[in-house]
Amino acid sequence: MASMEVDEDVAAEATSSSQSVAVESSSQAAGNTSNFTAPTSPAPPAQPATGGGSGSALSDVSPGNSVMASAGTVGSVSVSLHPLVILNISEHWTRQRAQEVTSEVQVLGALIGKQTGRHVEIMNSFELSYDMLDGNIIINREYYTLKEEQYKQVFSDLDLLGWYTTGDTPGPPDLLVHKQICDLLDSPIFLKLNPMARHTDLPVSIYESVLDLVNGVPTLLLVELQYTLATEEAERIGVDHVARMSSHDVQESSIVAENLQAQYSAIKMLASRVRLIAEYVKASQRGEVEFNHEILRQVNALAHRLPVLNSEKFRGEFYNQCNDVALMSYLGTITKCCNTMNRFINRFNLLHERLAMGRPAYAASC
């Protein structure tokens, strides 16, 4: 109670942002004694960090330690998020978690996409490398520039929109990183994914930053944004397929795989029946089977139903598409072959690694 009174006094002395502080203090949970030191001091940089340590133990609203702007602030842009990004982030986190011994894992990365006017579309993401300096996260600038060059080559029309990280609610460490991103971009979007969330909604929150005056000091605060999930058909199918394939202990297959499986069985059946008819005709030509005119007339009629379309233009387009598909499967075959070769060479090396070098001409036939 005492702390609340102190807060209110301080709030009365503060200038225009005092209202936001008051709102926060009124909703504050009771019994946080260490908090009152923070608003009385003029917020040197170390203080929010120490205050933030305790502040994050509670839910976000400790005045001065909080990084959230007032609940009434409205975001300036509308955001649509592609599910690919969520998949990327969760994969990044899972991978990191599988590699590290500690269970507390935080990953960091950049978000790229398109921005038109007041609408932001986050389409893809990639990882960022960072260093820990005095417990603060510092983004590796060179790595970012390298990655930027590379993704500009592939996705030439996507720009840097913001950054993501994992964890619970945002705190001052996030603001620190956000400030660094602000050097690269004017007003970045900040996405936070909570991999430990227990509720069934999507544990993704998106924020943008606003510059507010807190106790006369312009500080960066975060405003939560509403977002929608943007999907196009192809992306949804692809992501669904990948998501199901990656959990191999569950035997369900993705929708597209089922669809393709059905088509494959249908074509296989068609091929076997056509082969049967061809065998019959050949056999009656050879004289092994009695010449049945009626059946042969029917086969003739069937054969004349195809091709349905036989113009010059159709043939051109048809072969165009055929060759495209053939090229793609050729590429797939080569990749698969490279994979097999790689595995084989690894095993070969493992088997023969301590044997003498005098093996005649094994490798030459490659």
Partner 1 sequence: MASALEHFVNNVTSLSSQGNYGEVVKYVSKSTEVLAKNVAHLDTVLATLEPQAVSLGVMAVLCVRLQNTTHTDANIDTLHATVAEFINVCSEEQIKYAPDMMADLCGSYADLLVAGNCAMRGIEVLSTAIRKTQESPLHLTSIHAHLVHLCLVSKCFKPALKFMDVDIMDISKERGSYDVKHFLLYYYYGGMIYTAVKNYDRAQYFFRVCITTPALAVSHIMLEAFKKYILVSLILEGRIGRIPKYASLVVTRFIKPLSQVYWDLGVAFCTNCPDKVCSVISKNQETFTRDQNMGLVKQCLSALYKKNIQRLTRTFLTLSLADVANRVQLTSPQEAQKYILNMIDEGEIHASINQRDGMVVFLDNPEKYNSPTMMAHLDKEMQLCMEVERRLQAMEEEIVVNPQYVQKVLGPQEDEGPTPSSAQSTSFSIVSSM
List residues binding partner 1 (CB under 8 A).
316, 319-320, 322-323, 326-327, 329-330, 333-334, 336-337, 340-341, 343-344, 346-348, 350-351, 357-365
Residue at 206: amino acid letter: I
Q: E strands along 29-140, which residues?
A: 78-81, 108-116, 119-127, 130-133, 136-139
* Structure tokens, 127: 């990882």
Task: Indicate the residue among 291 and 362 with the shorter CB distance to partner 1.
Answer: 362
Please state the closest distance from residue 309 (CB atom) to partner 1, in A.
16
| Whether 113 contacts 155, CB under 8 Å | no
Please state the closest distance from residue 248 (CB atom) to partner 1, in A.
9
Residue at 287: amino acid letter: G
* Structure tokens, 124: 């893809």
Task: Give CA–CA dist 122/228, Å, rounded.
Answer: 10
Please state the closest distance from residue 97 (CB atom) to partner 1, in A.
17
Task: Indicate the residue among 9 and 324 with the shorter CB distance to partner 1.
Answer: 324
Please state the closest distance from residue 321 (CB atom) to partner 1, in A.
9
| Whether 110 contacts 139, CB under 8 Å | no
Task: Indicate the residue among 285 and 321 with the shorter CB distance to partner 1.
Answer: 321
Task: Indicate the residue among 258 and 317 with the shorter CB distance to partner 1.
Answer: 317
| Whether 296 contacts 284, CB under 8 Å | yes
Helices 46-55 and 172-184, axial angle in degrees (round to 10): 130
Task: Indicate the residue among 305 and 313 with the shorter CB distance to partner 1.
Answer: 313
Task: Indicate the residue among 118 and 248 with the shorter CB distance to partner 1.
Answer: 248
| Whether 110 contacts 163, CB under 8 Å | yes
What distance, in Å, lies between the first and last C-alpha atoms of the chain? 80
Task: Indicate the residue among 179 and 347 with the shorter CB distance to partner 1.
Answer: 347
Please state the closest distance from residue 319 (CB atom) to partner 1, in A.
5
Nearest in space to 213 (alpha carbons), one of 76, 46, 18: 18
Task: Give CA–CA dist 165/108, Å, rounded.
Answer: 5
* Structure tokens, 177: 């990183």
